[in-house]
Structure 1
Amino acid sequence: MAKLTEQDIINWDGNEDDYMNEDHLAFFRERLISLQNELIEKASVTTNNMQEHESAPDPADRASQEEEYALELRTRDRERKLLVKIQDSLREIEEGDYGFCHDTGEPIGLRRLLARPTATLSVEAQERRERMKKQYAD
């Protein structure tokens, strides 16, 4: 069978027994690996750029440059955390747990996973967690 496309995932109307079948798993595995490779490439480019640039002699330029580096490093730190989630998701695919809510065990849903391939909670479970967090934060 041909590989699934994003449109196939959006239009899927199979039954619950067919949820996270081999084609779905292959689609999300490929998507996660592609995302992982993209993040690794960005990190490599950032490292090379920071090593190549000399410190500016003018204090104002140097301060501006350091601010740019700080922003870049914050972005890369967020991406590093995402990389961990991607690797966890790939492990879940191998173990057969991918696509199921960690709280309820129910299917997360293909459309949600399409939007956020590293999702570990169904929309309902995520909303419940956010309400609880907000309730205890107040």
Structure 2
Amino acid sequence: MNSFINETIIMECRKKLLLQKQEILNRFRTAQREYIHTEKSGDEADQSVAHIAEHSFLVSQERMRNQLLEVEMALARIETGNFGMCEETEEPIEVERLLAVPWTRLSIEGAELREAVSRKYAR
């Protein structure tokens, strides 16, 4: 367990993660219901609009799946006692950062390091 983060902070983050999970699942279901009820027939223009709507739906579903995965992984880190440790620096993540983005896996320094490496190899 990260000794720099007290149990109160961990429980607050857990509560935020569970709320975020519920919100993502609700958005997922709402988007699915709305997509099912969209018109998928008609002339060429209607079909083009339906195709664009389908693409948008699939992109948003993928984004929500990724968000849900991050939340689930953070909840698992709480359970295993690894919550609040930066994957990049192996140092504690700032409490303010965890409270703002409880699913984060990187400290500010770790995020900057990862960004610098990705910029270096993006060339």
Name structure 1 gaps, 5 residues minimum.
Answer: 1-15
CA RMSD for the aligned pairs? 1.8
Measure, in 2, the Cα distance between the counterparts of 1:63 and 1:113: 43
Measure, in 1, the Cα distance between the counterparts of 2:49 and 2:39: 13
User: Once the 2 structures are TM-superposed, how far is the Cα of residue 54 of structure 1 from its aligned partner?
Assistant: 2.9
Q: Compute the TM-score of the two structures, normalised by the length of structure 1.
A: 0.79
Measure, in 2, the Cα distance between the counterparts of 1:84 and 1:50: 22
Measure, in 1, the Cα distance between the counterparts of 2:68 and 2:100: 16
- The C-alpha deviation readout for 1:52-92, integer Å capped at 9, x for no partner, is 23314132122113212211220120110111111000010
User: Once the 2 structures are TM-superposed, how far is the Cα of residue 116 of structure 1 from its aligned partner?
Assistant: 2.1
In the alignment, which of 89, 108, 122 is matched to residue 74 of structure 2? 89
Measure, in 2, the Cα distance between the counterparts of 1:130 and 1:103: 11
Measure, in 2, the Cα distance between the counterparts of 1:55 and 1:84: 30
Measure, in 2, the Cα distance between the counterparts of 1:66 and 1:111: 42
Confirm or deny: 8 A CA contact 2:12 2:99 kept in the other structure. no
Measure, in 1, the Cα distance between the counterparts of 2:84 and 2:92: 6
In the alignment, which of 92, 96, 117 is matched to residue 111 of structure 1? 96
Equivalent in the alignment of 2:35: 50
Q: Compute the TM-score of the two structures, normalised by the length of structure 2.
A: 0.88
Equivalent in the alignment of 1:31: 16
Number of aligned residue pairs: give it: 122
Q: Percent identity?
A: 30
Name structure 2 gaps, 5 residues minimum.
Answer: none
